Amino acid sequence: MTDSDSLIIACPNCHGLNRLPQARLKDAPHCGKCGATIFSGKPFELDTSNFDVHIARSQLPVLVDFWAPWCGPCRLMAPAFAQAAGQLEPQFHLAKVDTEAQPMLGQRFGIRSIPTLALFHNGQEIGRQSGALPLGEIVRFARTQFMNYVAGL
């Protein structure tokens, strides 16, 4: 196996970086640092201290839900976003940023309305969608945006 057959993926638990063979992503890999499951089938929280590890250093696409606890549409979309993690992993990681608790991240990315989904890959934002979406639309958004990015569209 060559390095091109593996990906660097950040652990959602300890935020340590792991080199994982692409062929084994569906085999429930565990973090070499903390032992936690790399793919839990649920979104994880990001903050200013760990955001860049997952967005810029991890080679897995990350779909981020920028939300706030007082936002009704955000709360309505939360169960669908959680279900989407089960459908999109291990090709994607899904994460949440509470813009009220992490205002610097909201400002950094120019989040003007919530909920806003932003898809990142290799440190770059490659897609954005504002407004609450049902499960199927969340999954479709992530897959379509990533395929367009890979195809250079």
Annotated active-site residue 74? The verdict is: yes
User: What distance in Å separates the CA atoms of residue 93 and residue 114, rounded to the nearest whole number?
Assistant: 20
DSSP characters for 12-63?
TTT--EEEEEGGGTTS--B-TTT--BS--SS-EE--TTTHHIIIII--S-EE
- Secondary structure (3-state) at 99: coil
Annotated catalytic residue within 14, 31, 34, 71? 71
Distance of CA 59 to the CA centre of its chain: 11
Q: Given CA atoms 59, 65, 66, 68 in this order, what sign does their dihedral have?
A: negative
Annotated catalytic residue within 11, 14, 31, 74? 74
Do 133 and 114 meet the contact criterion of CB atoms below 8 Å apart? no
For the annotated catalytic residues, the residue numbers are: 71, 74
